[in-house]
Amino acid sequence: MTGTLDIVRQVAELRARVKYWRDQGLSVAMVPTMGALHDGHLTLVRTALEQADRVVVSVFVNPTQFGPNEDLSRYPRQEAKDAESLDGVGCHLLFAPKVEEMYPEGFATTISVKGVSAPLEGVCRPGHFDGVATVVSKLLLQCLPDIALFGEKDWQQLAVIRRMARDLDLPVRIQGVPTVREADGLALSSRNAYLTPQDRAIAPALHRALQAVAEGVKAGKSPAELCHRAAADVIAAGFASVDYIEVRDADDMGPVETLARPARVLAAARLGTTRLIDNIGIEP
């Protein structure tokens, strides 16, 4: 059913709508996003609609998770198009707060999730996960959904949010949803819009490199050697640089030398002006 999407911008409006649903005995799911929605986001919404009676999607480009030299100013903002997409899949409510609503004057609290946030993106983007944990905790407390859904493409982010929700006893089930990919393996991302046609042709090499690492680890080969070779392959394919390709424990992001528990091979690499991230699972 379409044509029923409402938009609210204040926390009080969001809470009033959720209370109205709760009073009717309805369950609620939330999908936090930064907008520029693509089919990966819409897959999260469709999954949410299967699991709850009502679905809230937030669109908020969160300034606290961008570093000083990152792309906050040019991050795509297209609320009208996003609202049309959400309406088309049957989302019930769009929460689109202004920065002043989320971070009013005098805001002074930061949530930091130690350990799981430290490697990989934690090294490349200091403070990024503090911004993520803070804004996601606020969104979950503002809405108090039964379930919140996040894409597995940002696997370390998902691990940070799961740890935060456990540690803070947030009464919300955190669910990961598998990465949506193009036919050639490229993970859907809002930042793919920055790729030139030439870059777009090169981009799937990152996913192929991760697949080779995963197959090698399952065959008992050294993760470190496989990742070193994968980084060289990605550079040879035309990427400008590789921030990391590493095999990590799927839950706590600790290093993996032998495959005893579920793991992920995670990567970040730069192609032209665009930084792409991806990961795939490795089951023992």
The token pair that represents 281 in the structure block: 């699972």
pLDDT confidence of residue 1: 44
Distance (Å, whole) CA 202 – CA 197: 9
Residue 108: pLDDT above 50? yes
Indicate the SS3 state at residue 4.
coil
* pLDDT tens column, 236-280: 999 999 999 999 999 999 999 999 999 999 999 999 999 999 999
pLDDT surpasses 90 at 69: no
Query: How far is the first Cα of the chain from the last one, in angstroms, to the nearest whole number?
Result: 42
Section 197-220 average pLDDT? 98
Give the model's pLDDT for residue 84. 98
Query: Which among 279, 53, 58 is positioned nearest to 185, based on CA atoms?
Result: 279
- Is the CB of residue 79 less than 8 Å from the CB of residue 41? no
Sole residue written with tokens 């202004």:
98
Q: What value does the mean pLDDT of the chain take?
A: 97
Question: What is the amino acid identity at position 85?
Answer: S
CA-based nearest residue to 134, from 32, 17, 237, 25: 32
Tell me the pLDDT tens digit for each residue of 153-208: 999 999 999 999 999 999 999 999 999 999 999 999 999 999 999 999 999 999 99
**What is the distance between the alpha carbons of residues 65 and 237, in angstroms, rounded to a whole number?**
30
pLDDT band per the 50, 70, 90 thresholds, residue 71: confident
Q: Looking at the chain, which residues constitute the CATH 3.30.1300.10 domain(s)?
A: 190-282
Model confidence over 178-189: pLDDT tens digits? 999 999 999 999
Catalytic residue list: 41
At the fourth CATH level, which superfamily is domain 190-282?
Pantoate-beta-alanine ligase, C-terminal domain (3.30.1300.10)
Superfamily of domain 6-177 in CATH is HUPs (3.40.50.620)
Percent of the chain with pLDDT over 70: 99
Cα–Cα distance for residue pair 217/225, rounded to 1 Å = 10
Would you say 88 and 157 are in contact if contact means Cβ atoms under 8 Å apart?
Answer: no
Structure tokens at 283: 């089951």
Strand order in the sheet with 274-282: 241-249, 263-271, 274-282
The model's confidence at residue 2, banded by pLDDT at 50, 70 and 90, is: low
Contact present, 159 and 187 (Cβ < 8 Å):
no
- The CATH 3.40.50.620 portion of the chain extends over 6-177
pTM for the model stands at 0.96
Determine which of 67-76, 108-117, 208-217, 267-276 has the lowest per-residue pLDDT on average: 67-76
